[in-house]
Amino acid sequence: MDITTDPQKPAAAPVPHQPPAKDAERAARGATRPGDRIFLGLSRGSGILVLAIMAAIAAFLTYRAWLAISEDEANFFTSFEWNPSGTPPEFGIAVLAFGTIVSSIIAMAIAVPISVGIALFITHYAPRKLGGAIAYVIDLLAAVPSIVYGLWGALFLVPHMDGLFGWLDEYLGWTGIFEWSGGAPRSLLTVGILLAIMILPIITNVSREVFRQVPRMHEEAALALGATRWEVIRMSVIPFGRSGIISASMLGLGRALGETMAVAMVLSPTFDINASLLDPGGGTFAQNIASKFNEATVMGRDALIASGLVLFVITLLVNGGARMIIARRKEYSGANA
Amino acid sequence: MAKRIDVSGLNAYYGSFLAIEDISMTVEPRSVTAFIGPSGCGKSTFLRTLNRMHEVTPGGRVDGKVMLDDENLYGAGIDPVAVRREVGMVFQRPNPFPTMSVYDNVAAGLRLNGKYKKSEMDDVVEKSLRGANLWNEVKDRLNKPGSGLSGGQQQRLCIARAIAVEPNVLLMDEPCSALDPISTLAIEDLIGELKERFTIVIVTHNMQQAARVSDRTAFFNLAAVGQPGKLIEIDETERIFSNPSVQATEDYISGRFG
């Protein structure tokens, strides 16, 4: 608006010149100064770049996967075969999906409770120095490369699993899930245990940060009602941290689903499904790609890419599911406080 | 129900820092006692020694005696958790449990204390919400989150939560400082009703509020920053505000400092 012609203010001090009003208008729109413009461009560009990379990966996977799947003579989703170089090519991801999901579930079942327990101990029970020391060690665990976990798993964990496997077989063998025919313990259970150790640090670290951020006033609310330390954790800390625990678990699950080298070094893969977690049966997507990629034909590679696409989709579904769980509880979340 | 509080020779520390020194006072049952004084004079710290909340702060430590009728809260073998079930507390900022419904917030303390039948629980929740003058506003949304209420309603919800367990004493730490004048009035009216059942101690920065709600007023002060806070005097509220016996009280009340 041109303030010099404003009839309401006839007696205003003589206005020196017009441009300031225009400058102000432009400033209000944003992005006039070079610094603003450059920063806007950079941040917008970063945002678009993420989408572009995601789209590029999806397009590549889908295209190459399509080349393979259209040649596939077996049912891609239900077949237990993996023979993409044969004539006709026959391959399916049923075994890989089973192995990936089962080993990840085992890893989560072990790692989530332990991680939450460690995080609670560090933030709410341990003396400050001890908590700091434990947190530091957990950070170190997170920095260990997965190939080292693989070496440890293959050379230490596997030879030491016989006792546990024997015990499970003796007392829980009747369930069928824990039946053991006595072979080398390079099965999905061993993989799950190794994955649990690998994803423990990330779940612990994220949960720890969430628990640390629980507002003091929520804890005091429980304390003032006469809550014991455990009741404070149950009433204030865990509800506040719930969505954080879910996010942390999803980060861990993402790593477990995609873990490659450590699984490849520990698992002895077979292309069938076994109800028992202790006997050989199943492989995982990532492990299968790693062990077959070097010798694969063009068709074989495309088939592996098709399996990679399925892993990609599973990861997306898992993340979407986690977001839904978090959103459903949103009005009760601590963020409203 | 309501019990007398008798404090003698009480010191409270944060680590090696003496925050309040040698406090002795008596709080009569079924009365409202207000604590006033400049920031940092230790009135909130003192309030928190009365339900053993001071010691949950890292480094927090107390010596001296707090008698609740004939029981020393700091005696050997006294469980601080049990003390807090007997001495309820309302905080400066409304702090309902954000993940719980209105109903569950009020029931939270009862659930800590043991098993109740659904019908008993319903009765206590309704009675407590009525007691906090909140029932009519929330009776249709008992299952909605407590954090969805307005600030003043949240604070009354916290009061309902505190009185649901039938404490002997109700401590209030600046309960209105985060609220608008209308909500403040609602809380002050409520304090007037609650004192018929409970011994109430309220910390306030608002001297008019102290004058409006309390029967007795205690004035705390500190000599300088870094010095411990002390109780300067405690007397009938009317006297404190008209004719206090210590000059510092009169200076503070008439706005000459603080």
- Rounded Cα distance, B38 and A216, in Å: 24
Q: Is residue A243 part of a domain?
A: yes
Amino acid symbol at B228: P
Taking the CA of residue A262 and the nearest CA in chain B, the distance in Å comes to 40
pLDDT band at A9 (very low <50, low <70, confident <90, very high): very low
Domain count, chain A: 1
| Block residue for tokens 């007997």 | B86
SS3 of residue A183 by DSSP = coil
Nearest to B53 among A223, A242, A331 (CB): A223
pTM of the complete model: 0.81
Task: Report pLDDT for A86.
Answer: 83
Interface of A with B (CB under 8 A): 128, 215, 217-218, 220-228, 231, 235-236, 239-240, 242, 329, 331-337
How is A25-80 classified by DSSP, letter by letter?
HHHHHS--SHHHHHHHHHHHHHHHHHHHHHHHHHHHHHHHHHHHHTT--S-TTT--
Report chain A residues whose CB lies below 8 A from the CB of B82: 226
Q: Chain A residue closest to B80 (CA)?
A: A226
Question: Is A296 in contact with A91 (CB distance < 8 Å)?
Answer: no
Separation CA A253–CA A311 (nearest Å)? 12
Quote the longest CA-to-CA distance of chain B. 56
| CA closest to A238 among chain B residues | B99
Question: What single letter denotes the amino acid at residue A13?
Answer: A
Position A211 in a domain:
yes
**How would you classify the pairing of strands B60-68 and B32-36?**
unpaired
Is residue B132 packed enough to be buried (19+ CB in 10 Å), middle (13-18) or exposed (0-12)?
A: buried
Tell me the C-alpha distance between B78 and A8, whole Å: 75
pLDDT at A25 over 70: no
Please determine, for residue A72, whether its predicted confidence score (pLDDT) is greater than 90: no
Residue A303 has pLDDT above 80, yes or no: yes
CATH number (domain holding residue A207): 1.10.3720.10
Substitution target in B73, B97, B101, B172 with the highest count of A β-carbons within 10 Å is B97
Tokens 């949950």 sit on residue: B56
Span B155-174, pLDDT tens digits: 999 999 999 998 999 999 99
Chain A residues with beta carbon closer than 8 angstroms to that of B88:
224-225
* A209, part of any domain: yes
The reply to whether residue A224 touches residue B84, judged by beta carbons under 8 angstroms, is: yes
In degrees, rounded to 5, the angle at the alpha carbon of residue A220 between the alpha carbons of residues A218 and A221 is 65
Determine the pLDDT at residue B98.
87
pLDDT-derived band of residue A21, with 50, 70 and 90 as boundaries?
low
Instruction: Inform me whether the pLDDT recorded for A334 exceeds 80.
Output: no
Mutate to test the interface with A, among B93, B95, B168 (most CBs of A within 10 A): B95
Average pLDDT over residues B61-84: 92
Quick check: A329 pLDDT over 70?
A: no
Using alpha carbons, select from B223, B206, B175 the residue that is nearest to residue B42: B223
Could you tell me the pLDDT band of residue B99, with boundaries at 50, 70 and 90?
Answer: confident
- Residue B213 burial (CB count, 10 A): 24
**Predicted local confidence at residue A64, as pLDDT:** 93
Q: Pick the residue with more confidence: B95 or A10?
A: B95
Residue A259 is assigned to a structural domain of this protein: yes
B49 min Cα distance to partner chain A (Å)? 12
Residue A53 lies in a domain: no
User: Closest residue of A to B106, CA-based?
Assistant: A225
CB-closest option in B84, B91, B148 to A226: B84
**Which chain B residues touch A223 with a CB distance below 8 Å?**
53, 56, 84
Mean of the per-residue pLDDT values of chain B: 91
Q: Is residue A312 part of a domain?
A: no
pLDDT at residue A27 in the model: 56
Query: Could you tell me the strand order of the sheet in which B229-236 lies?
Result: B71-72, B60-68, B5-14, B17-27, B229-236, B216-222, B32-36, B199-203, B169-173, B87-90
Tens-place pLDDT, residues A171-183: 998 888 888 888 8
| DSSP helix/strand/coil, B97 | coil
CA distance A267 to B128: 60
In a domain, A24, yes or no: no
Q: List residues of B whose CB lies inside 8 A of any A CB.
A: 51, 53, 56, 58, 81-86, 88-89, 91, 93, 95-100, 108-109, 112-113, 145, 147-148, 158, 161-162, 165
pLDDT at A246 over 50: yes
Q: Which residue on chain A is closest to B81 by alpha carbon?
A: A226
pLDDT confidence band for A88 (50 / 70 / 90): confident
Q: Confirm if A123 and A208 have CB atoms less than 8 A apart.
A: yes
**Min distance B123 CA to chain A CA atoms (Å):** 19
Partner-chain residue, chosen from A217, A220, A228, that has the shortest CB–CB distance to B81: A228
Beta-carbon contacts below 8 Å between A and B: 85
Counting residues of chain A whose pLDDT is more than 90, the rounded percentage is 56
Could you list the residue range(s) of the whole structural domain that residue A264 is in?
Answer: 94-282
User: What structural domains and CATH numbers belong to chain B?
Assistant: 5-253 (3.40.50.300)
A185 within some domain: yes
- C-alpha torsion angle, residues B167, B209, B39, B17 (rounded to 10): -20
Average of per-residue pLDDT across A26-48:
83
For residues B25 and B5, give the distance between their C-alpha atoms in angstroms, rounded to a whole number.
8
**Using the beta-carbon criterion (under 8 Å), do A235 and B97 form an inter-chain contact?**
yes
Section B194-213 average pLDDT = 93
B161 chain-A contacts, CB cut-off 8 A = 221, 225
Cβ <8 Å between A224 and B99: no
- Read off the tokens for B10: 């009480």
Distance between A228 CA and the closest CA of chain B, angstroms? 6
